Structure 1
Amino acid sequence: MAATSAHAQSYQCSPPSGLSAPAERKPASEPRRIKPVTGYSLALSWSPEFCRTRKNSRRDKTQCRGDDGSFGFILHGLWPETRGPAYPQWCAVTRPLPPAEVKRNFCMMPTARLMARQWAKHGSCMTQRPETYFKVSRIMFDAVRFPDMDRLSRQPLTAGQFRNAFAAVNDGVMPDMIRLKINPRGWLQEVRLCLGQNFRPRRCPVFRRATKADVPLKIWRGG
């Protein structure tokens, strides 16, 4: 992956004042799993699709209402993995995120609630300090280049063609290092890059099944 980005993740972004992120608590329904980390997934959410039905949602207003920014890809999270699908999670009890850290990462991850959850659920399995987790996340996020999503959204497209387009603009990334999340209506929700322990792109583990190459895929541009 390159050190600069093409087709910026946030088209505009201005962090609102008074941002805070209370500590996220482990839900009773989710187990704590402390396991050795053997790799990572970088999950990149396509914000126009996420916000398509959430523009009037108070819960998602900083990402979706448009007052604080207009976003393309945002970071859903940097997730540690182990051998097999039961990834590490909720490894430690966490404290509220420092307001300065919330502000620093807002244009990458434009809801404080999302930051708090990603740190508590995933980051606590990687490091003891949220500053370290978000620093590594920013480095990885800023290294990704993005294809021309506007152009791709205006043409017939399959999952395989999209993976090829995404890999083509990222040095060292091959289509089999990319997994896609597509909703039941056929719209792109998320791109996930598989990373090794050294944070370099790798072939996705076999338990991360790929969407078949010929599956139709649509990209919502917003509006």
Structure 2
Amino acid sequence: MRLITQSLLVLALGVGLARADGETAGEFDYYVLSLSWSPNWCIREGDARDADQCDARHDFGWILHGLWPQYDRGWPSFCPTRHRNPSRSDTRAMADIMGSSGLAWHQWQKHGRCSGLSSDAYFALSREAYATVTHPDAFRRLKQPIRLPASVVEEAFLAANPNLSAGQITITCKDGGIQEARICLTRSLEFRDCGADVQRDCNLNRATMDVIR
């Protein structure tokens, strides 16, 4: 009898946990726009995967990693949603700014579902957010890989976007190189201060930055 009772308890807990997966879609405080320096990702991971994103014909610099719903502290992910998943053509259409349809699919599953929007509306908003930020021209003109303080990358974004302040952007690094510029936006895509958990600037003084192919 005790074994049956224990089994029923485990089953009940399992059902409860399954229902608890993911936060409520549409309930968040702001967005983080994440821009990835594609050449560094290609050196670090993409080339080994033979990723099409890394083919020189694309000329990728700062690509859209994602538009992430964020709480003032923490973030939701993999939210249940009533909206359908995007089609292959929907995700393929995002490859011009995201590098691949696979990334677009993953971003919808992990972050887009939490926006409360349909996939079409989420991708449209992501494209609008991407266009909101002016990307510094200087990095497109690199002729060879360089090492620089990560703070220089932040300063370049601030100079290119006069309405952006230091508390609204953070630069991340990975494996000794510049990884991403993360910019905080209101739900209406205006610059806003980042939460404390997002403001974690890379402090490397000699971070690598590879050239656009």
> TM-score, normalized by length of structure 2?
0.77
The match for 2:33 is 42
1:99 and 2:102 matched = no
Kindly report the root-mean-square deviation, in angstroms, between the aligned alpha carbons of the 2 structures: 2.6
CA distance in 2, matches of 1:113, 1:156: 30
Tell me, what secondary structure is at the counterpart of 2:67?
strand
How big is the shift at 1:105? 1.4
The match for 2:160 is 169
- 2:139 aligned to which of 137, 149, 168: 149
- 2:184 aligned to which of 194, 197, 211: 194
CA distance 1:212–1:78, change in 2 (3 Å): closer
Tell me, what secondary structure is at the counterpart of 1:136?
helix
Are the counterparts in 2 of residues 55 and 65 from structure 1 also a CA contact under 8 Å?
Answer: no
CA distance in 1, matches of 2:175, 2:114: 31
Are the counterparts in 2 of residues 195 and 201 from structure 1 also a CA contact under 8 Å?
Answer: yes
- 1:134 aligned to which of 123, 139, 149: 123
Are the counterparts in 1 of residues 37 and 179 from structure 2 also a CA contact under 8 Å?
Answer: yes
Give percent identity, aligned residues only.
28
- 2:201 aligned to which of 187, 211, 214: 211
How big is the shift at 1:98? 2.0
- Kindly provide the amino acid, as one letter, of the partner of residue 177 in structure 1: Q
Answer with 1 or 2: which has the greater Rg.
2
CA distance in 2, matches of 1:143, 1:197: 13
For these two proteins, the number of residue pairs brought into alignment is: 190
Tell me, what secondary structure is at the counterpart of 1:100?
helix
**Which runs of structure 2 are paired with 1:59-138 in the superposition (5 Å)?**
61-66=51-56, 69-85=58-74, 87-92=75-80, 95-138=84-127
CA distance 1:149–1:166, change in 2 (3 Å): same
How big is the shift at 1:171? 3.1
The match for 1:183 is 174
The structure where helix makes up a greater share of residues is: 2
Gaps of 5+ in 2: 1-17
Gaps of 5+ in 1: 1-27
CA distance in 1, matches of 2:203, 2:42: 26
Are the counterparts in 2 of residues 34 and 89 from structure 1 also a CA contact under 8 Å?
Answer: no
How big is the shift at 1:96? 4.4
How big is the shift at 1:198? 2.6
> TM-score, normalized by length of structure 1?
0.74
